[in-house]
């Protein structure tokens, strides 16, 4: 999600700036002219700033919270009637296909043509309905998980500051061209942030039957029926 990547970039900028050593104030003692000339001519060695980088899979972490899991569970229930309707339509298509295959030599041309037209109509309806349901489900998932991700921002900020990180990177590499890195064990703070958010939100874990939310997935409609020849 663009807003999550923007948040990660903003956090990285803030923490990088905060990690830079403060400039020394005050008026230094005057130096001889020749010494000043020598100092200006000498190259200034760069000062290394210690970096402590945190990695987070922001969207996945938002979906893995108790609140995210509960939202996904509610969406599954919301789309269950549509899935049942698609399953029923798929069964009708399968029955028509079997009838055409088993009785192709005994039924009249008129009857066969009627069944072929009916099969074609149902297959096209199934494809339209399945695509519409999948698009609607995905849009709802993005909206609900986006709400959790926005509320998770302050928790992420607090955790990063309390643990001395100087930069935060979003590792949603499969989403919108995010950053994918190799990192040492322990620097991925996704689980710690999820635990902190669960504690702060007060939302209890959903029932064990809730769908896994490591990454939002579209609802799985019935298997697409085979297209008749």
What is the SS3 assignment for 94-117?
A: HHHHHHHHHCCCCCCHHHHHHHHH
- Three-state SS at 168: strand
Query: Is the distance from CB of 133 to CB of 219 less than 8 angstroms?
Result: yes
Place of tokens 């072929």: 116
**Token pair listed for 194:** 């999820």
CA distance 77 to 63: 17
Contact 76, 211 (CB under 8 A): yes
Other beta carbons within 10 Å of 97? 18
Contact 39, 154 (CB under 8 A): no
Q: Please give the biggest Cα pair distance in the chain.
A: 112
| The predicted structure's pLDDT at residue 207 | 83
pLDDT at residue 205 in the model: 87
pLDDT in tens, the chain (229 residues): 444 444 444 444 444 444 444 444 445 555 555 555 555 556 666 666 667 888 899 999 999 999 999 999 999 999 999 999 999 999 999 999 998 888 777 788 888 899 899 999 999 999 999 999 999 999 999 999 999 999 999 999 999 999 998 888 887 755 445 444 444 444 788 888 999 999 998 888 888 764 444 444 444 444 444 544 4
Closest C-alpha among 97, 140, 139 to residue 118: 97
54: helix, strand or coil: strand
| Closest C-alpha among 194, 189, 184, 181 to residue 162 | 189
Task: State the pTM of this model.
Answer: 0.64
What's the confidence (pLDDT) of residue 224?
A: 46
189: tokens are: 């703070």
Answer whether 197's CB lies under 8 Å from 152's CB: yes
Q: Output the pLDDT for position 209.
A: 61
Q: pLDDT value at position 118?
A: 94
């Amino acid at each position: 999600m663009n807003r999550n990547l923007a948040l990660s970039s903003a956090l990285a900028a803030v923490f990088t700036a905060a990690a830079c050593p403060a400039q020394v104030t005050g008026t230094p003692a005057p130096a001889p002219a020749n010494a000043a000339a020598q100092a200006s001519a000498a190259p200034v060695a760069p000062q290394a700033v210690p970096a402590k980088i945190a990695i987070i899979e922001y969207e996945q972490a938002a979906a893995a919270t108790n609140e995210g899991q509960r939202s996904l569970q509610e969406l599954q229930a919301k789309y269950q009637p549509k899935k049942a309707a698609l399953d029923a339509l798929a069964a009708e298509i399968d029955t028509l296909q079997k009838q055409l295959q088993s009785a192709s030599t005994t039924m009249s041309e008129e009857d066969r043509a009627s069944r072929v037209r009916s099969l074609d109509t149902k297959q096209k309806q199934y494809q339209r309905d399945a695509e519409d349901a999948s698009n609607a489900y995905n849009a709802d998932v993005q909206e609900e998980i986006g709400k959790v991700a926005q509320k998770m921002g302050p928790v992420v900020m607090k955790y990063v500051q309390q643990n001395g990180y100087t930069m935060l990177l979003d590792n949603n590499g499969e989403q919108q061209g995010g950053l994918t890195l190799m990192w040492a064990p322990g620097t991925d703070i996704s689980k710690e942030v999820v635990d902190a958010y669960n504690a702060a939100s007060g939302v209890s874990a959903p029932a064990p039957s809730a769908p896994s939310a490591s990454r939002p997935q579209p609802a799985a409609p019935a298997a697409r029926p085979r297209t008749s020849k």
